[in-house]
Amino acid sequence: MNCCIDVVGQNRTGRSMLSNWTQGKLMSCDGFVRKHTGLKVARRRQHSAYRLPYDKGPIG
């Protein structure tokens, strides 16, 4: 499967927290986080979009 997901939302809704959690930068207080072994996670700042060619994604 080859797909990309963008996370959008209003300020203070948890976008950065979700991103940090999926990248392992935050630990879960209760429960666990399980990622698919083939999952690739990339983070791109919104203002860097002009540097990324339209036919390429942040992963490749």
pLDDT tens, position by position, 25-48: 888 788 877 778 887 777 766 665
Residue 20 has pLDDT above 60, yes or no: yes
User: What is the extent of the structural domain holding 44?
Assistant: 1-55
CA distances from 8 to 11, 16, 50 (A): 9, 10, 18
Contacts of 19 (CB under 8 A, 6+ apart): 7, 41, 43
Residue 60 lies in a domain: no
Residue 55 has pLDDT above 80, yes or no: no
As a whole number, the mean pLDDT across the chain is: 75
CA distances from 16 to 1, 4, 44 (A): 25, 17, 11
Amino acid at 17: M
Count of domains for the chain: 1
Amino acid at 28: S
Q: How confident is the model at residue 57 (pLDDT cuts 50, 70, 90)?
A: low
Residue 25 lies in a domain: yes
